[in-house]
Structure 1
Amino acid sequence: MTSATTRDRAEEIVAAIGGPENVLSLTHCATRLRFELKDASVVDRAAIEKVPGVMGAVPQSGDRYQVVVGGAVQSVYTQIIHLPSMKGVGSGQSDADVKAAARSKARGKVAWLDAFFEYLSDSFRPLLGVLLGASLIIAFTAVLDALGVVDFRAADKSAGWVFVDAMWRAVFYFLPIMVAYNAAKKLNIDPWVGATVMGALMTPNFISLSDPTAFADTVCTTNATLGTQSCVADIFGIPLQLNDYGGQVFVPLIMVAVLALVYKGLKRIFPENIQMVFVPFFSMVVMIPVTAFLIGPLGIWLGSGLGSGLAWLNGNAPIAFAILIPLLYPFLVPLGLHWPLNALMLMNIGTLGYDFIQGPMGAWNFACFGATAGVLFLSWRDKDVQMRQTATGALAAGLLGGISEPSLYGIHLRFKRIYPRMLVGCLTGGLIIGIFGGVNTSVFAFTSVLTIPVFSPMPLYAIAVAAAFAVSMTLVIISDYRTPEQKAEAAAARLQAEADLALEAARTGADATAASADAVDSAPTAAVLAPLAGTIVPLAEVADPVFSSKALGDGVGVAPADDAAVLEIVAPVSGTVVTLPDSLHAYGIRTDDAVEVLVHVGIDTVKMAGAGFTSAVAMNHHVTAGQVLGTVDVAAVRAAGYDATALVTVINTASMSEVAPRPAGDVAPGDVVVDVVP
């Protein structure tokens, strides 16, 4: 019954919005469906607002439309996008795409740098879920390894534990294909072409070329510094350097940037009616060889050269090395250039019996996790549910599994203010390690909390990573990870969601009292008083479409005088305060005889985040009619660009025998503006 009702509601909303053919894309926030339409003029707002569970329909600029649903928005959204009639609608623009487009319009002074970080971020953000999933599997195995249950570095593990390895390695090994898909989508070309080009270099056929016993014209050599093997095959007389591209992300990022030029050039050459066949065909024919012969080896050479340089630096300037490693890693990891260093770590353990890279690297990792912890703290404080979930998962994957990618791709690359603060933590940890003689380890380990005991000297390593963590976290908490604009946008979205949910709760309470109200044959008229001084405005004439449509009940608006400054807000009725958002711009009061009255001071003033408002009461307080609830700085509201009209409505109008607004005229606080017969 519930699913059928939900499906009916979804179909009614889509029909009223103009049908699936009118929908370009659909996303949602915490409480609202957000439609991007072909033509917003065909929307039947009255029909939308009659749909059960819909609290209002709000036109936006252009052809955008919002439908206020409340806490059930996720289920309604899911039901809508799974309607047969909506198949394929809006598939080109997800909620993340919408936010990325918004970010691109608010770039800083160095536009190319912002574009570069957006390219990296949007190439990885869609992978956050599987990265977190794989990272938690790694965290689980790290716990077992730390407890001595199984040695995950051993070569003779049982088939069962090898299978467990496959569960997380699948994500990291095939990361190049996933990144290529997302990067191509970011650059507005066919993402499957990008994935196919990268996938060609990871097929068993390509990998088999590295076997000199199978191909006589394949020659393999060993890198003396890194201990890695490099093979070259003869392909139609042209030497091809063969590499294992599993886990590489620098290569697909470069490849897709070149592919975008080729793909878009081909689209200009071929007519539209044959582009579907020939553009992908020629893109593959050109880019697979270019990637195999040029781009792929270039990425590997760059990483290998970096590893050799670091080995030289550690031997000649160990203090500088200990500082440089944690400062370099924040830039190496997003590009995938940190992978060759793993080979150097393993070679050190095999030849020297210890490794000198993982200790300084731990300073970077814990600085990264500290920045994530700072974000988590702020998201708890600001009630940012989505960021709180992202930061919680990323921090768990980091502290338990030593995996930084979820933090980087899910948070740090999205908010560029994090990097300078994180680098201070990296510098702090690296400086401590360098000054006091360095840190070594005899095993290859993920740098997590669980693996601290494998480093020597352990006290030095523990102090260094703790300092890196604490400094990054403190700096992020003190200075925030968002720009003032991003912070204001997030606060406005959160407060709007709180207001929507509060109104939903008020309406739900009103529905619950409807049955008892119907049982009352007669009752004395109740008076709803003016909350502040001003002039009565008919509700149909106010500038807020949700209120003017009476979706939140019948009532009036009270417009303060032009010269009004700070005004007191008084209780319109006696009862219990059931709604009071953090923005202090609205009060919901339920009377003893179940009349639900809402006072909403100003239009869109939720975006002021409480600036200009004070409150003298709290949730669940009992107030009497005419009692001061708080104040509003009318001048500040108008200076911020908002309408200061106070809206007074009876939320459960449908449950009343009569709700009669008084005619236009001047009123003082406490004058009757609405008569109600319960």
Structure 2
Amino acid sequence: MASKTASTSQHIITEIGGADNVTSLTHCATRLRFQLHDQSKVDVDSLEKDPAVLGVVKQGTTGLQVVMGGGVAEYYQAIMKEPAMRQVGDGESSAPKKKEYEGVRGKYSWVDYSFEFLSDTFRPILWALLGASLIITLLVLADTFGLQDFRAEEQPPTYQFLHAMWNSVFYFLPIFVGATAARKLGANEWVGAAIPAALLTPQFLALGEAGETITVFGLPLTLNDYSSQVFPPLIAAIGLYWVEKGLKKLIPASVQMVFVPFFSLLIMIPATAFLLGPFGIGVGNGISNLLEAIYNFSPFILAIVIPLLYPFLVPLGLHWPLNAIMIQNIATLGYDFIQGPMGAWNFACFGVVAGVMVISLRERNNQMRQVSLGGLMAGLLGGISEPSLYGVLLRFKKTYFRLLPGCFAGGVVMGFVQPETSAFVFTSVLTIAAFTPMIGYTIGVLVAFVTSFLLVIFLDYRGKDERAEIRAQLAAEREAANREEDERIDAAEDAGTTPAPAPTPEDGAAGTAVATAAAPAKEVKPALRPGAVTEIGAPLAGRAIALSEVPDPAFAGGALGQGIAIEPSGDSVVAPADGSIITVQKTGHAVGLRLDNGIEMLIHIGIDTVQMGGEGFEVHVGKKQRVSAGDVLITFDRDAITAAGYPAVTPVLIANTKKFATVEAHPAEHADLGDKVITVFAKQGE
């Protein structure tokens, strides 16, 4: 039986339009990030019905974010293991591969692409930044307890080594940024990394002190400290893209692999050292100085504006420029003044989901309890707000009216205490010690958290109509569960006092109950009535064989349900009885039905035929569509299946086998459409 992770992953692939609709897939700390051929094929409502999916956000005309929370890596791995996804790489196109330097796609406006460029540049580095921020926190705690001086230039060997463990991420950050920025643009990522790396080598550093001007190639070169810088490698990557694009037009394809990187390095390293690097440092310093001027003019106003902006920036991915400025501040000023006020937004967000969790526990709303608990843990322990944002805040229209007062109240406190930090950290409970003054910062985030938490507790997180609808749904689910339990008890009692009579065949029609015991007092689907015997007709013609003969262990072992397999002689799958379509694969190789008599079926045409990508299959029905006995569901080309090297044998399974006492198969050398191939026996006392 497939795990929940695998089931959810398969569900996601189906609802985004199938693997053929995916051009690339990557993930960050909380989100699966798809690029799609056709965004209109995405069924957002169906995606969000899966409890594991915290939210769905469309980006531009081809992008899609599916928010999964802290376990996103597991879902990413499960999706990439699906056979249909084998042609889709991490960030690579499933279409025939283009050359390595394909550049910026014209589908984006320059504004949209600029923000996407920044977001996708920093996203792959997120894990390293998270890990380094917690090492910093441990060292700051050691400083707080007098074990060492965090800012001291001279450290004991043990602490010097510990400082190297986090400083490696920030010192060599230009190399990481150069690689990811180049990759995003379509340039060679390793050349993108090599350019800033040249400016961090011992040979370059030995040329002189930062700020000193020397002569190289007969030209004046002003030296700069490029460690921890983000704007120079970003600008260098943009320059690299255009250089590579030009070189490709001049150099024959047969020798591009050698000479394109050779001339790229020969051109871009001097260009970065003489021009682009100093310009990038100037851009970063200019933005940083502007914000510092605002901070010096009125830290109170800045501390309120920052947390009020973040709830609108993060959903759009527009917060990364500010994150880059935080790193720039630490590199140039030695401290940052944005992260402290930003903590007010984070903790107000976590206060909202904490309130949602309390209400969900009170209402016994298991789905929202799981969503809010996951968001709260990711936030308080990791400083990651996306699970809370997409799982709760963007799904209920009233939540922002509970969130923004917390942001404001926390921002007011931050304005008074003016917290600063000398290290880039993610604002969580574990990183509180990284801020000075720690007590003032703690009060600020606590005020933000408690304000939003209490507003949710007293005013709820939903509108009146939303609350009424959800409570009615929960009440209906509990009533259904209670009714089912009552029916089970009543049926058991009836079975103990009045044995059900032996079944007597009625009309023998495929898919109808041919015999039933005395019906229970309350309505139950015919096939589920105690003692019922239901015959299922063949949904396709051919030789009917036992499941154990199917060359696939999952089907042969009955893991997906009991039933029969048919080696087809025709080319059509039809509905064996009246019912509705539960699911149908876009590739056409499988269809699920729920018959009106209560039996659920899965018909899987061939083995591993999902890898055919829909070639040779034609689907005639859609999800949730009503069908009648004999309606054609799928037509297929047996010769195409055989030519592709896959067995055409088709398992016909009773998907809800566990609800029945016995599922009996009827092998036959040939079964026509509608011929009896399966008999389902209901349980006697349930």
Measured against aligned partners, the alpha-carbon deviations of 1:208-250 in whole angstroms (never above 9, x if no partner) come to 2233xxxxxxxx6xxxxxxxxx333332343333222222223
- In 1, the alpha carbon distance for the partners of 2:414 and 2:128 equals 39
Q: Deviations over 1:32-75 (max 9, x none)?
A: xx9x9xxxxxxxxxxxxxxxxxxxxxxxxxxxxxxxxxx99969
SS at match of 2:215: strand
Counterpart position of 2:138 = 140
Number of the residue aligned with 2:437: 454
The answer as to 2:679 corresponding to 1:675 is yes
- 1:175-254 superposed matches below 5 A: 175-211=173-209, 230-254=211-235
Give per-residue Cα distances to partners, 1:625-671, cap 9 Å, x unaligned.
xxxxxxxxx9992289xx997997357999967457986559xxxxx
* TM-score normalised according to structure 1 size: 0.50
- State the secondary structure of the residue aligned to 2:213: strand
SS at match of 2:246: helix
Cα distance 1:277–1:315, how it changes in 2: closer, same or farther (>3 A)?
A: closer
Alignment-derived partner of residue 449 in structure 2: 466
**What is aligned with 1:275?**
256
Q: Quickly say closer, same or farther: Cα 1:184–1:366, change in 2 above 3 A.
A: same
User: Per-residue displacement from partner, 1:417-464 (whole Å, max 9, x unpaired)?
Assistant: 79x999996896466545896214587476653326834656753455
Counterpart selection for 2:300 from 296, 319, 342? 319
Tell me how large the CA RMSD over aligned residues is.
Answer: 6.5
Distance in 1 of aligned mates of 2:215 and 2:174: 25
1:94 to 72, 80, 90: 90
Alignment of 1:272-421 (within 5 A): 272-326=253-307, 331=319, 333=321, 336-342=324-330, 346=334, 358=337, 361-368=339-346, 371=349, 396-398=381-383
Pair 1:677–1:274, CA change in 2 (3 A): same
Contact 1:250 1:299 in 2 (8 A): yes
For 1:193 and 1:27, locate their aligned partners in 2 and report how far apart those are by CA, in whole Å.
23
Contact 2:350 2:376 in 1 (8 A): yes
Determine if the alignment matches structure 1 residue 258 to structure 2 residue 268: no
- Residue 478 of structure 2: aligned partner: none
Distance verdict in 2 for CA 1:278–1:144, change over 3 Å: same
Aligned counterpart, 2:70: none
Q: For residue 540 of structure 1, what is the aligned residue in structure 2?
A: 540
Name which of 168, 175, 198 aligns with 1:170.
Answer: 168
Residue 363 of structure 1 aligns to a residue in which SS? helix
Structure 2 CA distance for aligned equivalents of residues 28 and 298 of structure 1: 31
Q: Is the 8 A contact 1:197 1:284 kept in 2?
A: yes
Q: 1:385 to 1:649 in 2, by over 3 A?
A: same
Does the Cα contact within 8 Å between 1:174 and 1:246 map onto a contact in 2?
A: yes
- Amino acid in structure 2 at the alignment position of 1:310: L
Determine if the alignment matches structure 1 residue 124 to structure 2 residue 122.
Answer: yes
2:7 match? none
What is the CA distance between 1:270 and its match in structure 2?
Answer: 0.8
The answer as to whether partners of 1:455 and 1:461 remain within 8 angstroms in 2 is no
Change (3 A) 1:374 1:381: farther
Query: CA–CA distance in 2 between the matches of 1:414 and 1:426?
Result: 17
CA distance in 1 between partners of 2:539 and 2:454 (Å) = 54
Instruction: Give the match's secondary structure for 2:653.
Output: strand
SS in 2 for 1:649: strand
Contact map agreement 2:352 2:453 (CA 8 A) in 1: no
Amino acid at match of 1:93: G
Normalising to structure 2: TM-score of the pair? 0.50
Measured after TM superposition, the shift of residue 263 of structure 1 is 0.4
Mapped contact 1:598–1:650 kept (Cα < 8 A):
yes
After TM superposition, the structure 1 = structure 2 runs for residues 502-517 of structure 1, keeping only pairs within 5 Å, are none
The 3-state SS of whatever aligns with 2:540 is helix
CA distance in 2, matches of 1:175, 1:192: 14
* Secondary structure of the structure 2 residue equivalent to 1:167: helix
Report the count of equivalent residues: 454
Distance 1:163 1:558 in 2: 69
Relative to structure 1, is the Cα distance of residues 116 and 266 closer, same or farther in structure 2, using a 3 angstrom cutoff? Answer: same
Q: Which runs of 5+ in 1 are unaligned?
A: 1-23, 37-70, 81-88, 102-106, 212-219, 221-229, 348-356, 399-405, 480-524, 570-583, 590-596, 605-633, 667-671
CA contact (8 A) 2:132 2:169 kept: yes
Aligned AA (1:140) = L
* Aligned residues of 1:303 and 1:340 also touching (Cα < 8 A): yes
Q: Where in structure 2 are there 5+ consecutive unaligned residues?
A: 1-21, 28-33, 37-73, 98-104, 314-318, 358-364, 463-504, 514-524, 528-533, 566-572, 583-591, 606-620, 635-650
Contact (CA 8 Å) 2:235, 2:276: kept in 1 or not? yes
Percent identical: 30
Q: Which residue identity lines up with residue 461 of structure 1 in the other structure?
A: G
Q: Report the secondary structure of 1:637's partner residue.
A: coil
- Higher mean alpha-carbon deviation, 192-201 vs 650-659, is at 650-659
Following superposition, the deviation at residue 194 of structure 1 comes to 0.8
| Cα 1:287/1:395, change in 2 over 3 Å | farther
